[in-house]
Structure 1
Amino acid sequence: MASFQTPIGTRSSTMLETSCGYLLQELQMIWDEVGEDQFDREKVLLDLEQECLEVYRRKVDDANVSRARLHQELAEAEAEFTHLLLSLGERSLPGRPEKMAGTLKEQLDSVTPALREMRLRKEERMKQLSAIQVQIQKISAEIEGKAENVDSSRVVVENKTDLSMTKLEEYQNELQRLHSEKNERLQRVEKYIDTVHKLSATLGMDASTIITKIHPSLDDPFGRSKNISDSILEKLKGTVESLKEEKQQRLEKLHNLGKTLTNLWELMDSPYSDRRLFSHVIRLLSFSSPEISDPGSLALYIIEQAEAEVKRLDQLKASKMKELFIKKQMELEDICNKSHMVIPSRSGMEKIINLIHSGEIDHANLLTSMDEQISRAKEEASSRKTIMEKVEKWMLTCDEERWLEEYNMN
């Protein structure tokens, strides 16, 4: 029973010594029986001793190599563990003692689970950082207008030495900022697009064509992400300003046409049925550009119709003005004839008629001028009335005397 209580190393040494002793005794007996020379016996024993030493040395060397390898593995594990702690921004792993104790194998067995846990944490943290960086690069590309160039499969964590929660929060804050910027840009794009639709409707234009020319993604029926880059925002802004300017110009043109129509209707005494056709143009006279939003209210065809009506009324006015001018001309000639005054030259009158046809003369001023001439002619005729009456009496007297003379002669 005592042999079971002996340490393993001691038992092995004792057994070895006993075995070697038995074998040595057996060898001595053989040599005695054979009659081996003492010198040869000592030489053999020396060789046996040397061989035993070499075997022990090899075993010791192997044990040293194994110990060195364990030391290296333990050092590498400790270094990796420390590196992981630093990169993850953690001071220690809960449940793991600060100081290692026990044999090398026990220490290595102790650090291995902790190292495995830290590796899992690193892998999980890298996945989190990678996922956030994918989103950051994707949104950044959308903001730059290069969303189609992003390959999420090629996104890698930029700095693997800093996997701390601080770095993760930094990326999360950056992602949140980019989300806010993206949403703000999308709102601006949507606002511009809505404004383009409203202005286009008022102007009677195709909003889809205008928006697609800026960028196809802005009017994509498949719902793909819109281009929200700076250049697109500038183009949208420029388009809105251009449409607003076009709206203002068209309104000013319709205002001028409306005033012209009103003057022509008054001058021509146009019937209500003619005026009613352009009542929408007249209504615009009381509105400013921001107040007008009805679809088609400033369409080109409305301007063209109003221009055509103004042209028609101008031609009609020219015709009537010609008639009125000729009538006043005849009135003036009649006054001049009766008062024996100089009649205005026919060539001058014909030039005026040609100007009426070409529209190069102000009709109102022309009529005013004719009225003034008639008025002056009437005043002149009135001042000559007494003289003319005396002349007429004298001429009548002369006619009577001439008649009497002719009668007496007969």
Structure 2
Amino acid sequence: MGDIVVIGAGQAAASLVARLRGKGHEGAITVIGAESEPPYQRPPLSKAYLLGEMDKDRLFLRPRSFYDDQRITLLLGEPAVSVDTTARHVIAAGREIAYDDLVFCTGSTPRTLPEAIGGRLEGVCVVRGIADVDAMRPRFTPGARVLIVGGGYIGLEAAAVAAKLGLKVTLVEMADRILQRVAAPQTSDWFRALHVAHGVDLREGVGLGRLTGSDGRVTAADLTDGSTLPVDFVIVGVGILPETALAEASGIAIENGIRTDEMGRTSAPNVWAAGDCASFPHEGRQMRLESVGNAIDQAEAVADNLMGAAAPYVPKPWFWSDQYDVKLQIAGLNTGYDQVVVRAGGDGPVSHWYYRAGQLIALDAMNDPRAFMVGKRLIEAGKSADPVVVGDAGADLKALLRA
């Protein structure tokens, strides 16, 4: 095989290049990343790293020596600026880099607030990269007043860290409930109670009207319920967007991300995509999965196909979130669910099992790794589970795997 260039230096890129070398690819491999750091984990940024429980070096997926040993060239701190899919070269770091195959692993970027409502004031933060967290970490001092905009997992994780460090936390979610886009009301209720118990002022059905400031720095927030809050800083957690600008400028088809076929190929010859930036066909539509698991699995599938496997990518969705002393583990996709079964409850492990037309399709497990393991295996095998058995806290879940 020939030379491979990877644009993007995150989880998908790291998984792809390691897989290529592991499978025996001998050609040159070049990874181009806009950030100055080698590929690193992003999930701990809003949790252990922000809390100071994880050093920066522990974020890196591989030591720099790995890339040297594997003859993988890292071009960091210089984003790719153009791609010519006809001549097959990339312009980056002031030079032309030829490729035989190109892979977009450009990931995603956080949504930001419009400048018209104060989104560019100093003290308005997002959580995406190491530099973002390094910049906001000094603000996490006991008694500081933080407004978190968005009640998804990023917002809730940031709220948990802030509350744990003794900040005064207000979280606003414009939708009727937190986690509305991704979870059942039962899961929303469970996490609402968790955050309220930790002192978070959680306001649902309330949006941000505008931010105001003094000397260019945010000092207050006007909310849509008519209230005004004094704030020391703001964390925006209102979702992410696939990073597709370079691919689109190169004439590559975009559909809910960089559109790929089931093998990971884009509309341009010898150009592939994997991770948050890529959409792939699934159940009659182009789907994107924003998760570490998908970034790894899809990137490895693309690497295998670059090596000639010709194997369609079959997603096995799983996700997680850490908040306070709770580990939430999610398996499957709950799209179109019509029944939710709650197992156990109280102060112990609890899990919420999603069904569609009697078929188990997903579950949320809170401090319940056993339920997660069983549910994940059932879902991946295309099996279901009797809702009556699932709802019986005394029933042996592992018996479901033998049914």
TM-score bracket for the superposition, by shorter chain length: under 0.3
Q: Which has the higher strand share?
A: 2
TM-score by length of 2: 0.17
Looking at CA atoms only, which structure, 1 or 2, has the larger radius of gyration?
1
**TM-score of the aligned structures, taking structure 1 as reference length:** 0.17
Instruction: Judging by fraction of residues, say which structure has more helix.
Output: 1
- Which structure has more RCO (C-alpha within 8 Å, separation ≥ 6)? 2
